[in-house]
Amino acid sequence: IPVDPFDLVIFGGTGDLARRKILPGLFRRFCAGQMPPEARIIGAARSDIDVAAFRAMVAEATQEFGGGFTCETGTLEAFLEQIDYVAIDARGDQGWAELQEKMSGKGRVEAYYFSVSPALFGDLAERLQKWGMADQDARIVVEKPFGRDLETAQTLNATLATYFDEHQIYRIDHYLGKETVQNLMAVRFGNMLFEPLWNAQYVDHIQITVAETVGVGGRGEYYDKSGAMRDMVQNHLMQLLCLIAMEPPARFDPDAVRDEKLKVIRALDPVLPHHIIRGQYQAEPMNEANAPGYRTAVGDARSRTESFIALKTHISNWRWAGTPFYLRTGKRMSARSSEITVVFKETPHSIFAEDAGRHRNVLSIRLQPNEGITLGVTIKEPGPGGMRLVDVPLDMTFADALGEEGADQVDAYERLIMDVIRGNQTLFMRGDEVEAAWAWTDPIIEGWEARNDVPKPYDSGSDGPTDSTELMRRDGREWRKVS
Ligand code: BG6
């Protein structure tokens, strides 16, 4: 179903994110017939290039990052026709009159994507207002990092609030756009089966792992000032935690959902120092040239920034009191795998002989790759050997279960951009949520800074420092295998 006609301005239109995600994503939506022919995408950036050069760049980006599919409902040329470009100076006056003129069409959705450094958010917002483009219907989309601590996030929120109302601000966390992340809500709130068990009485613990095989690559300068806590935990993992732990919202609407997520963040306990393991990857043995260690990659032989973090926390409310939540994320781990695992408690009493074995139900929700849900169920081991119990997976890999539709998943960015055009903020973070998340992370970071904590080295291709395994073992538990 096509969305309403729109004008989407991408500030930072020649940048990395635009080339990798935003523009190829829009092309895919175009090919899916969702982008109306009147829609326009206007790249805006500092580069003094003309429309033809920008279109050539877009063409190249869609080829390189478009996912190698054939566009059945149109041609790349037709898509490029809908693309425009303005060379603009975010801090000066150059280009603004031209942009204003292009945006003067009435009755269209107007969206401005700030795919630029957060240092420019205020300048862009101010100029949009000055040039009459910040009216009540305009929407702005802002990227992470949204601040680097509570104070900077508050300042950013206050700056944006000078020019835009909260209902106009779309703070992206691309994890919320992932298919399975939304499925998490469908599974929890669309089935009778799980929700009655979804609490401390029946759940032993929950673990969330986002493992990556990539290193910091060319983003060393940014990453070394952030680390895994700011880059991943404060946003992506925190959002996953909220969705898995929140109370059922009354409706699937933006504020109902975000109110519930906010309550989870506010109920999070502070993390004790011995419940945090920080790590930093080392070069792959014999392969230093191709896959350098973290410190070489960021060009600082003494860097203390973590590329891995594992932590244990609790949510102090009626539903979850006493249930540990373990979070883990890192770069250069053994496999790319994001998974949320709910480990249920053992049955209160076993009617079988002691050597029959005992198992726990484990529900694992795989976000990527091979999106799907698996529920470990205990059954009798087949055969004549008497009553022995085994654990078998009830496996639902979406690509298998749903055929083509399951496999042909919409990329997170595509979905989120279309949500902006539709005016649906459910999958975007509200200002108070982001601030609450920083309010929880700040003391953790301050704590390790005060302790002069040095991250533990771990080998590239491993699953983090051994202390992370120990964190679980101390509690008689273990991490799910990263695979
Ligand atoms: C980004 C982080 O937000 O998410 C990156 O800045 C990380 O460091 C990326 O690699 C992971 O996203 P995905 O979709 O590949 O899991």
What pLDDT, in 10s, does the model give residues 214-225? 999 889 999 999
Tell whether residue 93 is among the known ligand binding residues.
Answer: no
CA-closest candidate to residue 374, choices 480, 479, 473: 480
CA-closest candidate to residue 89, choices 57, 56, 54, 126: 126
Ligand 1 pocket member 212 (CB < 6 A): yes
Distance 434 CA to ligand 1 centre (A): 18
Q: Which atom of ligand 1 is nearest to 236's Cα? A: 3
- For ligand 1, atom 13, the nearest C-alpha belongs to 175
Mean pLDDT of the chain: 93
Q: Cα 143 from chain centroid?
A: 11
Distance 173 CA to ligand 1 centre (A): 10
Distance 29 CA to ligand 1 centre (A): 22
Query: How many C-beta atoms lie closer than 10 Å to residue 352's C-beta?
Result: 14
**Residues belonging to the active site:** 236
Ligand 1 pocket member 231 (CB < 6 A): yes
Distance 286 CA to ligand 1 centre (A): 27
Q: Which atom of ligand 1 is nearest to 368's Cα? A: 16
Owner of token pair 């119990």 = 389
Reported ipTM exceeds the 0.90 cut: yes
The average pLDDT across 62-79 equals 83
The average pLDDT across 186-212 equals 96
Instruction: For the full predicted model, state whether its pTM sits above 0.90.
Output: yes
Helix, strand, coil percentages for the chain (3-state, nearest 5): 40, 20, 40
Tell whether residue 357 is among the known ligand binding residues.
Answer: no
Owner of token pair 């649906």 = 424
- For ligand 1, atom 6, the nearest C-alpha belongs to 231
Q: What is the pLDDT of residue 403?
A: 67
* Alpha-carbon gap, residue 314 to 298, rounded angstroms: 33
Q: Which atom of ligand 1 is nearest to 216's Cα? A: 8
Burial of 233 (0-12, 13-18, 19+ CB in 10 A): buried
Q: What is the pLDDT of residue 67?
A: 72
Is residue 287 over pLDDT 80?
A: no
